[in-house]
Chain A
Amino acid sequence: MGETRVALIDELNESVKSLEGYNYITRDSYLQREACDNLTALLRRLGDLKQEAIDRGDDDMANTLLGFECSVGFLRASISMWLLLKEGRADDAWRRLVEAQRLVADAVRAHPGFARMAGHGKQLQAIEDLIFPPQKFMSLGMVVRKRLCSICGEVYGECDHLVGRPYMGHLCHTIVSEIEEMNHIAFVDQPADKNARVVEFNVPGGRKNRMTWKVTPGEVAAPDPADGQKGLAVNAILSGDGLLGH
């Protein structure tokens, strides 16, 4: 079993390595799409292998395969980001960047064998800082009556699972099941969910995209100083797919 495991891990490492070379903006788009298709196929295979490990009750292997899933997912998201940038779809490229960042962090959490992935986290941060303009991030605060553990379904805090830790091929996160009230909306420098951001803001004659600065013409509801309103009207995403929380 040990030799089989090592051989499988070596094979998966080789598969990922053979596709890493497409993770540059200069690579041919057709070849990059082909690489994304290959990564999607690899993800399907990893899903099957992980399920087999779960069925065997092999926690370490299930978490190793979770690490591979996150690594492959990261690579696919990162290559997709470059493709979308080349197509002029900056908002979609941002979503892929955020997905790639999340998957890198998840890979490192999944299994100690993926600690090297932390370097990709720094690279993605550099890409965020150099390629994309600064963003205005949002944080939505709410009073929650009940949060459930994604691993066992019990009330989080009453079971022994911890957010961000891997359990049999899955990372623990919380599921909000009862919201008492929305508490606040805030601008923050470091959001848990970088998809929660100002997307566009109103300018005379239309709405200006914060990523591209392209103006979409149309009537806009501007603050009315006569009513004592000040400031800038914006369109923002308040909650994306940031599941982890604290």
Chain B
Amino acid sequence: MSIDIEDAPLIHELASALGCPTPKDLALLPLNFETAAAPSDFLYDSAAATVRTLFRTSQIPLQDLLPSDIPRRHLSYKNADWVGPTLFIGYALVSDNGNLLNVALGVIANYLTDFFKGMGKPPTIKMDFVVEQTPHNTYRRLKFEGTPDALSKLHEIIRAISDG
């Protein structure tokens, strides 16, 4: 497993400049959130659609930054590594409803455990998380690479980042 933590841009300012709602609890950030000129430019990892379905069918609320009338564009590629979308995690979610974060990570990890069964050489999971810190309006990016099992146990690290 490998984890890198670095500063992330001011998400609320980027969202405001793009005319998007400010991410609150859980939201999928597009790959090009920092460079897009408008929401119509948003480009998502192809696995974003799978994560949206996983959360919706598990009753995990997920905020959509893309207006419903704009088509969702995805970057598709043929790499066996599973590259997940960037998941925004709000401070309030970690502090008030930490169990939901555990469930969200577990739902993705369980899906990937099943998905990788039978593969001779298990692929790597790569997924970024942008975590809102206290005090509000500072953000850190956690870059994760590892197994589904390691992904399911990330919540403690995310909580520590969120607490600053």
| Contact surface of A with B, Cβ cutoff 8 Å | 101, 104-109, 115, 117-118, 121-126, 128, 138-147, 156-157, 159-165, 174, 176, 180, 183-184, 186, 188, 190-193, 196, 239, 242, 245-246
* B118 partner, pick from A118, A143, A147, A183, beta carbons under 8 A: A118
Contact A146 B52 (CB under 8 A): no
Cβ A188 vs Cβ B79 within 8 A = yes
Contact of A192 among B45, B73, B78, B118 (CB under 8 A): B78
Which residue of the partner chain, among B52, B72, B76, B120, contacts A142 with CB atoms under 8 Å? B76
Known contacts A140-B77, A164-B115, A191-B79; A124/B120 CB under 8 A: yes
Within 8 Å CB of A191, what residues of B? 78-80
Residue pair A105, B118 in contact (C-beta under 8 Å):
yes
Shortest beta-carbon distance, B82 to chain A, in Å? 6
Q: Which 4 A-B pairs have the closest CB atoms?
A: A125-B120, A157-B49, A108-B118, A105-B118
Per the bound structure, the CA–CA distance linking A242 and B121 in Å amounts to 16
B interface: dominant SS: mixed
Residue from B48, B50, B57, B124 in contact with A163 in the complex, judged by beta carbons closer than 8 Å: B50
Contacts of B118 in A (CB 8 A): 104-109, 117-118, 121
Question: B47 to chain A: closest CB distance in Å?
Answer: 5
- Which residues of B are found within 8 Å of A157, using beta-carbon distances? 48-50, 52-53, 72
B119 at the interface (CB under 8 A from A): yes
Task: Please indicate the chain A residues that have their CB under 8 angstroms from the CB of B76 in the complex.
Answer: 141-144, 147, 176, 245
CB closest chain-B residue, reference A106: B118
Q: Which residues of the partner chain B approach A122 to less than 8 Å between Cβ atoms? A: 120
